Chain A
């Protein structure tokens, strides 16, 4: 199979505060963006709150000539797509449900209001596809692939596993900070190259 049909161009990781913590390119082909543009892109997927002490994002940057104001970023496309999720009526719990002891009915449990609707997951053009995977902890993985690349979910899971191993289990990695873990680069790079 020609490698072009399963190309992974690049990977971006965004922490739960919306900060860009990792960005690597694996395959030439995608025209490279400036870091600033990557951040704008990241902002699409996250209501971007610039850290108080630094603002890595040039607010006046325009994308397609439209000035990107803080407002736009706060109301990211990801958040907007999530907010238009249709609301469904709550399913009635079966009255037949009983607790293991068999007496008290377990009609409800503390509902979890933290269950978010998912937001934007794919963005596709003729030449590339951007897939967004948000973990339950709030970290976002953005993967740029060839639109023909199959099994993006599998690739995403593998990346998440490598991240859990070589980033999270590195005792000297500080949570939420930029990822500078050489072993992660190496294993991820090797795996992505190995599969193309």
Chain B
């Protein structure tokens, strides 16, 4: 399936099948969660990143069923198709953004998602304690969501942010790597 076809699917579902909520409710709710975690973990930003990732993971494992039920898409033939599906359908229908898929490695196992627009980060300024700018990945929940969702469809991946406009970088970029396809779902074939 081509990237443009994925875009059309994403648009179509977004227009017809999705209940919308006020974007600022999402932004403020998420911001509150991150701020509370920073407080609870005493500005241990590594730990906050980890907690956000974990929360995302638990969301992803549930959200994948909604994604599949709403989109009705079949299994992707390869990881490139998976990337387009995540960017153009997944992010589109849940956050109404469509990050750019780019920076593929030659083995087609790693790509980047570039977010031109990130609704989670509207209005946000990181604390100027000299550390948050270097340690906190504000939108880290998204990495966990991808990890949880893909695990449920038999893909073990690793995802992390490599840059964030909130930190003063030029772009917001998430790096996604395929670790392996999980095959233990299938009982061992007897040949």
Contacts and interface: CB of A to CB of B under 8 A. Distances in A.
B68 A136 contact: yes
B154 A114 contact: yes
A86 interface: no
Contact count band on A = 20 to 34
B42 interface: no
A163 B69 CA distance: 9
A79 B186 CA distance: 9
Interface in B91-135: 102, 104, 106-109
Interface of B: 61-66, 68-70, 72, 74-81, 102, 104, 106-109, 152-155, 178, 181-183, 185-187, 189
Given A104-B106, A109-B79, A164-B69, 14 more contacts: A106-B108, A110-B178, A111-B78, A112-B79, A114-B154, A115-B75, A137-B64, A137-B68, A139-B65, A157-B69, A160-B69, A163-B69, A164-B65, A164-B66
B56 to A, nearest CB: 14
Contact of A168 (B66, B72, B107): B66
Most buried by A among B61, B69, B182: B69
A110 B108 contact: yes
Given A108-B108, A137-B152, A114 B182 contact: yes
A113 B181 contact: yes
Contacts of A109: 77-81, 108
Interface of A: 16, 47, 74, 79, 83, 99-100, 104, 106, 108-116, 135-139, 157, 160-161, 163-165, 168-169, 175
* Secondary structure of the A contact surface, majority rule: loop
A89 to B, nearest CB: 15
B62 A175 contact: yes
A163 B181 contact: no
Contacts of A113: 181, 183
A138 B185 contact: yes
Contacts of B77: 109, 112, 115
B54 to A, nearest CB: 14
A109 B66 CA distance: 27
Nearest to A153: B72
A85 to B, nearest CB: 11
A175 B61 contact: yes
Nearest to A158: B69
